[in-house]
Amino acid sequence: MSVTTIENHNKSSLTSAQRVESLIIKMQLHEKIGQMSQFSGHNGHLTDHLVENIRAGNVGSVLNEVKLETVNELQRIAIEESRLGIPLLIGRDVIHGFKTIFPIPLGQAATWSEECVREAAHISAIEAASSGVNWTFAPMIDITRDPRWGRIAESLGEDPFLCSQLGASMITGFQGESLDNNYSIASCAKHFAGYGASESGRDYNTVNLSEHDLRNVFMPPFKMAVKAGAATFMSAFSDLNGVPATGNQWLMKTVLREEWNFQGFVVSDWDSIHQLSVHGFTENDCEAAYEACHAGIDMEMVSTTYLDNLPNLLEHERVDIEQINDSVRKILTLKFELGLFDSVYVDSNDYPPLVNQKHRDVAKLVATKSCVLLKNENDCLPIDQHKVKSIAVLGPLADDGYEQLGTWIFDGEEQHSVTCLSALRESLNKDVEVEFIKTLETSRSVEQDQFDAAVKLAQRSELVIMVLGEESILSGEAHCRTQINLPGAQENLINEISKTGKPIILVILAGRPLTLGAIINKVDAILYAWHPGTMGGPAVADILLGKVAPSGKLPVTFPRHVGQVPIYYAQKHSGKPASNETYLHMNDIPTRAAQTSLGMTSAHLDTHFSPLFPFGYGLTYGKVEYRDICVDKQTIAVDEKVCISATVTNTGAYKIEEVTQLYIRDLVANVTRPIKELKGFKRIILAPDESKKIRFELHTDQLAFYDRKMNLRTEPGRFHVWIGGSSDTKLFTEFDIN
């Protein structure tokens, strides 16, 4: 019979902290280490191994168990059959949806909408909580500037400011107003830190980052996550500057605890404590447990180095009981905050149905706002369905409800998906003839046996819609690519169809920026839908048919060629910047050109130095004009604010939404600063011919950076400031801090 001491704690008489302390006093060592150990579930099965360890008090959390009956039984065993009856944290990767799937995080980032991201996370939390999940391993807020890296799909893009704002919104969406609300689940800011800079875009590879880059670029989203109240952090797999994150005291103690005062707990990544020995950072699991414990990793995901070695390390006084108590304290505190000691069993009747219409509507809205219009030659979009009479739909991703969901889908199901083809057929007037040929079996297929049929269909149609891109498995964890163009024979297919002379609208579903240089001049329009999730089809169809204008903006730079990577808008100026005046392409170099005759600037001979599409870029239906930028004060002092305003006009015939963006440049500083830095964005609605004055307020704190001595400071000096609809905006003015 378990000693149900918890029930003796009258909630009204004790605070959570007191309840935690009163529990720790009663705990035996193995029960404390048990709280620090996360076991994997077994797809609904109650294995003896898991049940016996829960009964013995060796398990603080279970991940990857989402069968509600099983979760409730696991909780019952923990509460009624273990000595102290401590409930379990139930973890799951709810990255961009549970059963209703939203666009991949990179697509959600393309909405530049904190509201969209927050609402998507909130719905994801409700659906996950209805299955007994009370902890998600999200948001993933690794900055990355390398589209070869498969996990760019899971990221919120290349920019610290955008990622910080949207990451905080995701945390708020998951955690709600209070963690003990039935609809709230704990978040987990991951992967701390620097994982997105894995060398050569190869997952799990070495990361070498200066403290300058860590503090000014890669860490700000995590610092913001602490402010946003992230309940937990997750350590990265990576070896960071020679010290793997999971054993890195500078990261986990000096920065996260001492500087940022993070009060939650840190969970390792899957097996990443054991992997400290695989890295060659430690000799064996015992030393790995030692290093991780001293680094402040509070909970071990799946490997058992803590269970196996902490007693011994304690006995030999290499680890102190207070370190263990401190980890247990943080873990129990979260369990109390989640209300698990007061009501842990989940009744699905307390939750709305999965994939209900409201959830679908939000998923469609987010998908709609995530689509980025990259090209629209001669305004061939939107399609006028009162004029067009026959449309050919081609491509392996036009009618595949599974692939449109994207990576990190543990619980999504394709039968809930609405594909592009079915949505087009549903939306188009019935007198418009729509014929579909998949043409390629998968995005990687090279067989061209259906090409003739596709060409013939295109020839007898007025318009061609091609839905191409990447299958979901080609991005995500461990799915990196050295060539990031359209895989398989998709480029060949575009070439063949373009020979028919018919207008081609290309819809791309992908988990990363792809290099489109080989086909960009072969198509008339390109709509980038990322992997748009359950309701991706209706979102794409509404945009193509003009029911809504596209409004997404790129959260990541699109390179012309993979050889440009890493390429991002917030580049440093360098001492010899490239310019159009001096740039000379390799094909234009005179024979026997003298060594110093080519401009000697920072550029590649064979590829122009600009990106194919810049960060923040995205077209809409009609043109948006920016003018009359001005500041309310030419000079401000440190600690003051400056207001920057401009007028935005929708000169087109459609109602649009425009993501207006504010960028600054610190012209001269204690360390070199980027040529542009995003410092504000606002999504505004503009009716046809409507103008609005937009205002951004900037406090000097927002201009701070870490200097040579790693002090966070705002320096006096001149600043350029831009407002526009993309990072390549030219509309700028300047102000001084004195």
Q: Least distance (Å) from ligand GLC to the CB of residue 550?
A: 31
DSSP code string of 322-369: HHHHHHHHHHHHHHHHTTTTT-----GGGSPPTT-HHHHHHHHHHHHH
Rounded to 5°, the CA angle 128-90-337 comes to 90
Q: Which residue is nearest to ligand GLC (CB)?
A: 137
C-alpha–C-alpha distance, residues 86 and 9, integer Å: 13
User: Measured at the alpha carbon of residue 436, what is the angle toward residues 507 and 439, in degrees to the nearest 5?
Assistant: 75
For residue 64, the minimal CB distance to ligand GLC (Å) is 7
Q: Which long-range contacts (CB under 8 A, 24 or more apart) does 734-737 make?
A: 734/631, 735/631, 735/633, 735/634, 735/635, 735/636, 735/642, 735/644, 736/634, 736/635, 736/636, 737/635, 737/636, 737/637, 737/638, 737/700, 737/703
Amino acid letter at 102? F
Shortest Cβ 235–ligand GLC spacing (Å): 10
220 or 476: whose CB is closer to ligand GLC? 476
Which is nearer to ligand GLC, 262 or 270 (by Cβ)? 270
Q: Which helix (H) or strand (E) holds 211?
A: helix 211-213
Q: Which is nearer to ligand GLC, 31 or 127 (CB)?
A: 127
Compute CA distances 34 → 325, 331, 442, 543, whole Å: 12, 11, 46, 52
**190 vs 679 by CB, closer to ligand GLC:** 190
CB atoms under 10 Å from CB of 719, counted, come to 24
Q: How far is the CB of 556 from ligand GLC (least distance, A)?
A: 19
Q: Using the minimum distance from each CB to ligand GLC, give the nearer residue, 142 or 291.
A: 142
What is the distance between the alpha carbons of residues 159 and 224, in angstroms, rounded to a whole number? 13
Among the residues of 354-427, which ranges form H helices? 357-370, 420-427
Q: CB 395: neighbour CB atoms within 10 A?
A: 30
CB nearer to ligand GLC: pick between 141 and 367: 141
Q: Rounded to the nearest whole angstrom, what is the least distance from the CB of residue 270 to ligand GLC in the complex?
A: 4
Least Å distance, CB 228 to ligand GLC, is 19
Three-state secondary structure of 454-504 = HHHHHHCCCEEEEEEECCHHHCCCCCCCCCCCCCCCHHHHHHHHHCCCCCE
Identity of the residue numbered 506: L
State which H helix or E strand residue 594 sits in.
none
State the burial class of residue 731 (Cβ atoms within 10 Å of its Cβ: 0-12, 13-18, 19+). middle
Residue 704: both structure tokens together: 């701070």
- For residue 468, the cross-strand partners are 508
Six token digits for residue 295: 């680094």
Paired sense of beta strands 372-376 and 300-301, if any: unpaired
Q: Is 341 left (phi over 0), alpha (psi -120 to 50) or beta?
A: alpha
Q: Cβ neighbours of residue 375 under 8 Å, at least 6 residues apart?
A: 520, 523, 524, 525, 526, 619
Could you give the angle at which helices 305-315 and 321-337 cross, rounded to 10 degrees? Answer: 140
Shortest distance (Å) from residue 566 CB to ligand GLC: 21
Q: How far apart are CA 287 and CA 276, in angstroms?
A: 9
3-class DSSP assignment, residue 568: coil
Contact criterion met (CB below 8 Å) for 606 and 586: yes
Residue 45's CB is within 10 A of a number of other CB atoms, namely: 11
Query: How far apart are alpha carbons 523 and 501 in whole angstroms?
Result: 10
| CA distances from residue 504 to 341, 458, 519, 548 in whole angstroms, order as listed | 59, 9, 11, 20
Shortest Å distance, C-beta 425 to ligand GLC: 37
Q: Is 180 a catalytic residue?
A: no
Which of 477, 542 has the CB closer to ligand GLC? 477
CA separation for the pair 139, 100 (Å, rounded): 17
Closest to ligand GLC by CB, 31 or 269: 269
Nearest CB to ligand GLC, comparing residues 137 and 336: 137
Instruction: Tell me how far, at minimum, the Cβ of 340 lies from ligand GLC, in Å.
Output: 20
Alpha-carbon span 329 to 332, nearest angstrom: 5
Q: Which is nearer to ligand GLC, 270 or 626 (CB)?
A: 270
**Smallest separation (angstroms) from ligand GLC to the CB of 93:** 5
Q: Is 633 helix (H, G, I), strand (E, B) or coil?
A: coil
Identity of the residue, 137 or 722, whose beta carbon is nearer to ligand GLC in the bound complex: 137
Min dist. Cβ of residue 610 to ligand GLC (A): 33
**Which residues of this protein are in contact with ligand GLC, per CB under 6 A?**
93, 137, 190, 269-270, 477
Which of the residues 269, 285, 399, 411 is marked catalytic?
A: 269
Task: Please give the structure tokens belonging to residue 590.
Answer: 């005179």
Least CB distance from residue 62 to ligand GLC, whole Å?
Answer: 12
> Measured from the CB of residue 190, what is the shortest distance to ligand GLC in angstroms?
5
3-state helix, strand, coil in the chain (%, to 5): 30, 20, 50
Strand partners, 375: 526
Catalytic residues: 269
